[in-house]
Amino acid sequence: MTNPTLLILAGDGIGPEVMAEVRKVIDWYGDKRGLAFDVEEDLVGGCAYDAHGTPLHDDTMARAQEVDAVLLGAVGGPAYDDLDFSVKPERGLLRLRKEMDLFANLRPAQCFDALADFSSLKKDVVSGLDIMIVRELTSGVYFGEPRGIFKEGNERVGVNTQRYTESEIARVARSAFELARKRGGKLCSMEKANVMESGILWRDVVSEVHAKDYSDVELSHMYADAGAMQLTRWPKQFDVIVTDNLFGDLLSDLAAMLTGSLGMLPSASLGAPMANGRPKALYEPVHGSAPDITGQGKANPCACILSFAMALRYSFDEGGEADRLEGAVEKVLADGVRTPDLMQAGEGTPATTTEMGDAVIAALEASL
């Protein structure tokens, strides 16, 4: 039986630093749990542009289509700010999402008990928070046509088109309903049906999918702006939220900050099943390339490590091992080990990126 395959695209900035800690975890699972992976590495983002003149080489794109899962670090940085839009580092990531057809972006917002005081909200509001936002990722206003900046008369006009088909809405809704069925049994769909025709269609299709196949899941609807307000008022009222590409981008970032640190949040982008039954998948931390701390050992690798935990759960059906890894991260935090982003009023034991990764490995060892 062949090992599952992983393609690591560490990318730019702190991407290679945090991904090095993930490699330790991957190696540990091979050595101690009999979960061996065949791992390849390649370039994406600014480093790919430096090497190939494009943020994602065609060969890399082809390999991403073939492997069981892609792990991505981060892309971008100020060195690439003046590049043409078509070759900016972020275009590499968008190409991966679009050509792999990764239509369901899973963004968990979980507040670990040890970090409840880090949120800008009161501790009782966020303590124990565990919600999942499912963002449609391959359509909507980020991809709709026509788009561009055009000249009309004596002035320029910027145009972006919000466009969704029934099938695009239905498939991401099904992904969200399936998740809700396995979690707390509640799904809230967010759109702007009061002012946008695409929102009306979104609400209609989600309701139709619910009535046909998921009547056991409690479904509610909420305007996206009201949803943002409710996320900051009492986020624990939600279990799973499903929404479109633009609103999902905004709401998931808002939910991320409820937990106190972007350095702790993973994500998964999932597509249709491949021939082996596994979904096409890309896993990445929510944080960016953080050029201001690159190479200083200050980066928090936990979000990238937790992204691998999501890969264990959603790509490799290893939910128990995903729980083990998430538990190891939680133990490290409970023990007070802190990268700079998690230091508060001098409390905790300071740790470098490498030391945080080592602490997670030690916690995994202790779990055996």
Residues catalogued as catalytic: 142, 192, 225, 249, 253
Cα distances from 333 to residues 116, 189, 214, 255, 347, in angstroms, run 11, 33, 37, 20, 12
> Following CA atoms 115, 117, 122, 123 in sequence, which dihedral angle do they give, to the nearest 10 degrees?
60
Query: For 348, left (φ over 0), alpha (ψ -120 to 50), or beta?
Result: left
For helices 58-66 and 89-99, give the axis angle rounded to 10 degrees. 40
Concatenate the DSSP letters of all residues of 12-35 into one string: STTHHHHHHHHHHHHHHHHHHSS-
Return the SS3 of 349: strand
User: CA nearest 148: which of 159, 140, 161, 156?
Assistant: 159
Phi and psi for 333 in degrees, rounded to 5? Answer: -65, -40
- SS3 label, residue 279: strand
Owner of token pair 């900035």: 13
For the chain, the straight-line distance linking the first and the last C-alpha, in angstroms and rounded, comes to: 25
User: Strand runs (DSSP E) across the chain, as ranges?
Assistant: 5-11, 38-42, 69-74, 104-110, 130-136, 144-152, 155-161, 186-191, 218-223, 240-243, 266-273, 279-285, 337-338, 349-350
Cross-strand pairs, 214 = none
